Structure 1
């Protein structure tokens, strides 16, 4: 892990345990084993650190979501399943980052907030588009409001970081499969 990654990793740990406001730059320096000069070499201030934590996760999610959306070789149900798999996988692989993302999002300010919100909105728009395509092509029910379904999708997937235990009875893939079955069972055409 290089110095920048070590600083970011330390910030994630501290923001996740102490909270953004209770964590000082000095706390991050001590945990990372670096000087304040090293922190300020890579990050202008604490808010930029918080923003970068958000960027890491949202950029991964957005890149993978866009790849799914652009794949013309799969139908909407398969795309939706892939989006669920990506979401749950991210919750497992980046759980400390995810915790900070959800708990400290409100502390982003100014252009940092705007950039992050735009990317979050784009992720939601991709899920909405996949569901809408499925409705238009007859794969999914048409009597449901697709924008609400996208919010339900994120409500189900995003909260797995709270309770998902990678060493638990079910694997993350089995959890993804169950979410998909529940979601698609209610969406499937003829399931009214």
Structure 2
């Protein structure tokens, strides 16, 4: 009879992924060793290999898991919109933006690894990650097409959705966690700017303006 996994296996595996993501985000994937991952987890190097065959496997799992969570958020938002009377496409897109910005904050290390280290993936692994990224863009494009069908007909919905991801994806490079604007406020700003242009952006408080000036 095959021996089952020990109790706590999944929790330990998740801890390893979190520690590896933090190291990859802080030091870079190429500059991080499996010894450092093991030390951060309080485990021996052979113990790490019990969960992941090598550093590359860690990278793929971090990227793939992060994207899987984002796809689940996208599907959940769409289901919620379908089940909630009166929710139009613009409200649905605003909810999507808020959900993604929040997830980016909660999974900041994994998100940074995805954006900065995906280039190290190869072959089928890279293709799987790219397919999930394309599925995310397609989901946003479909919602945008409901708001502006003419943009979809002109073949612009995907390009405009990519611009939206550009605003959200790289926020981590400049947004300070101790600043006056939190993730919820930033999601609102992104949605206002994307859907209404600069004229629809609400003026932040004076405190927030001073914080922004320090960025």
Q: Report if the CA contact (8 A) 1:62-1:123 is conserved.
A: yes
Q: Who is 1:189 aligned against?
A: none
Deviations 1:60-102 (A, max 9, x none): 1100112223432421101110111012102211111111111
Deviation at 1:141, TM superposition (A): 9.8
Residue of 168, 175, 190 corresponding to 1:164: 175
SS at match of 1:42: coil
Q: Which structure has the bigger radius of gyration?
A: 2
The CA distance in 1 between the partners of 2:108 and 2:124, in whole Å, is: 25
The CA distance in 1 between the partners of 2:123 and 2:110, in whole Å, is: 21
Runs of 4+ in 1 over 3 A off after TM superposition: 140-144
Q: List alignment gaps of at least 5 residues for structure 2.
A: 1-7, 198-215
Equivalent positions of 1:33-182 (< 5 A) are 33-70=42-79, 71-72=81-82, 73=84, 74-136=87-149, 145-182=156-193
Q: What is the TM-score normalised by the length of structure 2?
A: 0.78
Deviations 1:38-80 (A, max 9, x none): 2111112111100111122111110011222343242110111
SS at match of 1:180: helix
The CA distance in 1 between the partners of 2:60 and 2:187, in whole Å, is: 28
Tell whether 2:35 aligns with 1:26. yes
Q: Report if the CA contact (8 A) 1:135-1:142 is conserved.
A: no
Q: What is the TM-score normalised by the length of structure 1?
A: 0.87
RMSD between aligned residues: 2.1
Count of residues paired in the alignment:
184
SS at match of 1:34: coil
Deviation at 1:171, TM superposition (A): 2.1
Moved more, 47-56 or 1-10: 1-10
Deviation at 1:132, TM superposition (A): 0.8
Deviation at 1:29, TM superposition (A): 1.1
The CA distance in 2 between the partners of 1:172 and 1:130, in whole Å, is: 22
Moved more, 97-106 or 163-172: 163-172
Q: Report if the CA contact (8 A) 2:73-2:100 is conserved.
A: no
Deviations 1:148-176 (A, max 9, x none): 11111101111111122232112211111
